[in-house]
Structure 1
Amino acid sequence: MATIDLNADLGETTAGNPVADDASMIKLVSSANIACGFHAGDPHDIARTVESAAERGVTVGAHVGYRDAAGFGRRFMEYAPNELADEVLYQIGALEALARKHGTTIRYVKPHGALYNAIVHHEEQAQAVIDGIRAFGGDLAVMLLPGGVAVHHAEKAGMMVIAEAFADRNYNPDGTLVSRRDPAAVITDPDLVAGRVLQLAEQGTITAVDGTELKVDAMSVCVHGDSPGSVAMTQSIVDRLRDRGIEIRSSL
């Protein structure tokens, strides 16, 4: 790849309690998945992150999730499909209002946490998420894990799919993410993470937790803002890519 999109989950500060250094992360990434208040984030702090993204020309995405602030959106929840679709639409609309205030707009949607993982295989919830995005209108893209049923539903609906890989998460041999209940789920070594992203950019592969080499055709790579040492980790990725002449740029 001559270019690669680097995204991070941001805007998750609630009641003044940050989970990431949004101001620093915004300076390093090309796309920001900004929380919409359901799994985390309050209107003022979300707006501040949107404003920072707009000022730096960072592409804004709606990071929609289950209505589960207590569990940070990382617990699977059962939903009636129409209710989930309405909640996805509601979250997009709320973030778009803040984006317009600060002179930008939402370009894509990325499901968060347990919802992201559920729609890899959960047919009804995958369709509900796509229905909610389509109800908003426009040409919003959707950022998803490659190979999941949500990708099928999005492509069937004529939506652009941004295939995503993860810099700081371990993979199972089947291409799914290692559960966060597993101590090996998150990778915290900046050099290791940077090397994985470079491998992905240059070879199109990522190494699973058992050593399997997975072919991953990713348009964007996520580094989690709430991971330990996330700023140093992201800086390490940026430095490694730039040293090899790979530009960090939004895919939209």
Structure 2
Amino acid sequence: MEMSDQESWPVKVYIYDNSKGMVKPLSRTLLGKQIDGVWHTGIVVYGEEFNYGGEGIMNSPPGRLFGHPDSIVDLGLTRIPYEVFRKHLRDLSLSSFRPSCYHLLDHNCNTFCSELAQFLTGNDIPSYITALPGEVLSTPLGRMIGVWIDAASAISGECRTHRQSGEHRSQCPSGERRTQCPSRERHTQCPSRERHTQCPPRERHTQCPPRERHTQCPPGERRTQFSSGERRTQFPSQHLHHASKRPSK
């Protein structure tokens, strides 16, 4: 996009209620105070909408990702060139607004839109949006929800960081494989259904269950330690020893 330094662009904040109106009638019963919505925001400028979430900073045509906004607030005009804005976005995506920095309450889409709004216009998004987490956490149920969200955000943020770096740690959920393991072998700390990487491929371990044959036994012999239905034979199967046969007269 090309624009001159003399051009100005309108800056708007699109406001969405993630609860689709459900939290408003239930909040007083559940939280003991009125909450009008679970707010998500996006900044619309230069003909695009900019959002931040668990996958990082995103841009799309206005209303494409989240549908029609519940309300739109005009923040004023910006004279910042588009290329300067894009550079600022790149800097944010590598620092304070990386995917791993996302937190549902403390560092979310509204935090991002507040930062962008002040960078572009010097104005902030509506205070009832940025104050929402504090309103929820001030209630007993909200504090319980906050503890759960903190734990979930820590786990998801750590695993997102490992995926981006190309390395998964064993602390990540069991459904994810560790990339440092050989391509056909799984990590030794994986669940019990997965095989141990120290066992050679297609060979059985010497401590395997008794139904499996010992690798050191000659091919025609069986060991006496096996189950009672098996017997030890000291001679190859094709030469049987007839000790009980009487000599011919």
- Global fold match (TM > 0.5): no
TM-score range, shorter chain: under 0.3
* Structure with bigger RCO (C-alpha 8 Å, 6+ apart): 1
- Give the structure with the larger helix fraction: 1
Structure 1 or 2, whichever has the larger Rg, is 2
TM-score of the two chains, using structure 1 as the length reference: 0.21
The structure in which a higher percent of residues are strand is 1
